[in-house]
């Protein structure tokens, strides 16, 4: 798919991520603004799911007590992100994103509210006391390897 600039969606996505600046990371005590375009930190879902704009935030009910952040992605899908970081886009990134997004923030029907994977429907932008429950916390191990081949395993 080629947009009006002659750039494919895949190339535009790659360029948006290439331009990502972690100096523009939204602080831990904050969250993206309504309709704000962001790039998430790395994930296993692919570049398509790293680029989106924020439609709703459910405070402190995500994995490990993080916020659940609902992002609209280029193909129009809505995905809940938990335990993730968000970097605000600069003007060039946002222009690229707007060139291939199927739904734009100004066309979003925020007043209809949103449902999570468990069908908990809530209306509003920042939900302080959500009924949602995030993905279950999963224990994981961190291995630290020293130069002399000794290592430590930490279970978290």
Q: In the predicted model, is pLDDT for residue 33 greater than 70?
A: yes
The tokens describing 59, both together, are: 């405070």
Could you report the per-residue pLDDT of 53-112, keeping only the tens digit for each?
999 999 999 888 899 999 999 999 999 999 999 999 999 999 999 999 999 999 999 999
Is pLDDT at 12 greater than 50 in this prediction?
yes
The whole-angstrom separation of Cα 92 and Cα 98 is 10
Predicted TM-score (pTM) of the model is 0.82
Domain ranges of the chain: 9-130
Give Cβ neighbours of residue 138 (< 8 Å, ≥ 6 apart): 63
Question: What is the structure's pLDDT at 2?
Answer: 45
């Amino acid at each position: 798919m080629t947009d009006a600039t002659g750039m494919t969606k895949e190339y535009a996505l790659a360029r948006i991520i290439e331009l990502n600046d972690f100096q523009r990371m939204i602080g831990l005590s904050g969250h993206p603004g309504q309709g704000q375009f962001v790039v998430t930190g790395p994930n296993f879902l692919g570049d398509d799911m790293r680029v989106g704009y924020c439609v709703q935030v459910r405070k402190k009910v995500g994995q490990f007590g993080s916020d659940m952040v609902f992002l609209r992605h280029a193909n129009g899908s809505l995905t809940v992100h938990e335990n993730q970081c968000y970097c605000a886009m600069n003007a060039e990134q946002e222009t690229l994103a707007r060139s291939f997004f199927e739904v734009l923030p100004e066309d979003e029907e925020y007043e209809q509210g949103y449902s999570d994977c468990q069908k908990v429907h809530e209306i509003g932008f920042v939900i302080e006391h959500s009924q949602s429950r995030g993905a279950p916390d999963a224990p994981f191990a961190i291995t630290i390897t020293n130069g002399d081949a000794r290592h430590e395993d930490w279970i978290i």
